Amino acid sequence: MNPFENHRDKVLGHYSAAGFLRRVVLSLWNGTAHPAGLSGLTNLDAAHFRAFREMVEHYHAHGENDQVFMRLAEECNERKQAEEAARMRAERHETWARETQWALRKLDIDPGVVEDNYNWFEHRFDLNESPEVAAEAWKNHAAEAV
């Protein structure tokens, strides 16, 4: 069986050894854009080290002519891009939430409402409202609720 198919679940897992194996696959696919340091080898158990060895040996013999390898590499790349997009969104949201808290303070509203009403404020973030507009909307929303 093709090791890229055989070890797919290990590569796509959600733990550190799987992350290392994904970096290895991406490095084999395009090492210039996706370097993988070998220090991750020190944390692999026997099963993950075997997966590493089998995939590297198979790649050495077949290279990018292996369609199973190419599909897995593309999956790893898509996941990396999705994870990066999620990380960037989280950073933008965190900054937006702090700015919204500041805008609420200017309106004499407890900034803790952002955390207490996370979904409401996240929806405003997703609508691409400015922190000031979201703060005003909360003020109106809270006044209507009384």
Tens-digit pLDDT profile for residues 83-130: 999 999 999 999 999 999 999 999 999 999 999 999 999 999 999 999
pLDDT of residue 143: 86
Percent of all residues in the chain with a pLDDT value above 70, rounded to a whole number: 100
Residues 59-68 have a mean pLDDT of 93
Angle among Cα 32, 38, 43 to the nearest 5 degrees reads 140
Burial call 110-121: b when 16+ CB within 10 Å, e when fewer: ebebbeeeeeeb
pLDDT of residue 136: 97
Residue 127's alpha-carbon distances to 20, 55, 85, 95, 110, in angstroms, are 36, 44, 17, 15, 22
What residue segments make up the domains of the chain, in order of their start?
3-65, 87-145
Mean pLDDT value across the chain = 95
Residues 44-69 have a mean pLDDT of 95
Conformation bin of residue 67: beta by default, left when phi > 0, alpha when psi is -120 to 50? alpha
What residues contact 120, with CB distance under 8 A and at least 6 apart?
138, 141
Q: At what angle are helices 67-106 and 16-30 packed, to 10 degrees?
A: 120
